Amino acid sequence: MKTIAIKGDSRASVGKSANKAVRKNGQVPCVVYGSGTDNINFTVYEADFQHLVYTPNTYLVRLDIDGNQMMAKLHDIQFHPVSEAILHADFYALDLDNPVELALPIRVVGNSPGVRAGGKLQVKIRKLRVRGLIQDLPDDIEVNIDALEIGKSVRVRELSVPNVELLDTPENSVVSVVVTRAARSAADAAGEEAEGETEEGTEEAAE
């Protein structure tokens, strides 16, 4: 699975005033915990979050805090309600021998006959929750739509990833093909035209 490296600097001072000073310096107060690791308070420059947060992808994080390296996942992040600046980030340290829960993006592949017939592809779920060992987790989950007709869906229960458990409700629709207004109007118009031709044929036969 994709990983991204983030370098942090440990800090001893915590609290509102300390956090304010950190943010004024363009950094984000952070903490990492979990998997037998003592809580470590540290800071990361806000710009270093760009490729981790502002992306549709999911990454594991290789944290380097004063030379102390560990694998982690971004567990929680807080934003300023107005400026949307990052205020705080929580990381969870991972153990290679224990399963981890993450949300992985889906990747749609194939050519839907329903779309070719005028339907519209709707993506209902963009990320699926999974559980598995780090070494078994893929970058994304492939959703094939080669057999997807109008009015049909690909559901969670139809997907599978080797050695990985899908945690979303099995009956949830991941992608669907729905009828568009244009396609419905065209079908209605074709139906009316066919009905008109039938009526004409009936009248001619009666004459």
Q: What is the mean pLDDT of each run of 10 residues along the chain (207 residues)?
A: 94 84 92 85 94 94 94 94 94 92 96 93 96 95 96 96 96 94 58 55 55
pLDDT at 19: 87
pLDDT score of 182: 63
Does the CA dihedral 41-47-48-51 come out positive or negative? Answer: positive
Of the CA atoms within 13 Å of residue 135, those in its CB half-sphere come to: 4
d(CA 153, CA 176): 4
What pLDDT was estimated at residue 183? 59
pLDDT at 193: 57
CA 13, CA 33: separation in Å to the nearest integer? 17
Quick one: DSSP state of residue 133?
-
**pTM for this predicted structure:** 0.80
Domains and CATH numbers, the chain: 3-95 (2.40.240.10), 102-184 (2.170.120.20)
Residue 200 pLDDT: 57
Tell me the H-state helices in the chain.
Answer: 16-24, 50-53, 113-116, 181-206
* Separation between Cα atoms, residue 121 and residue 178, nearest integer Å: 7
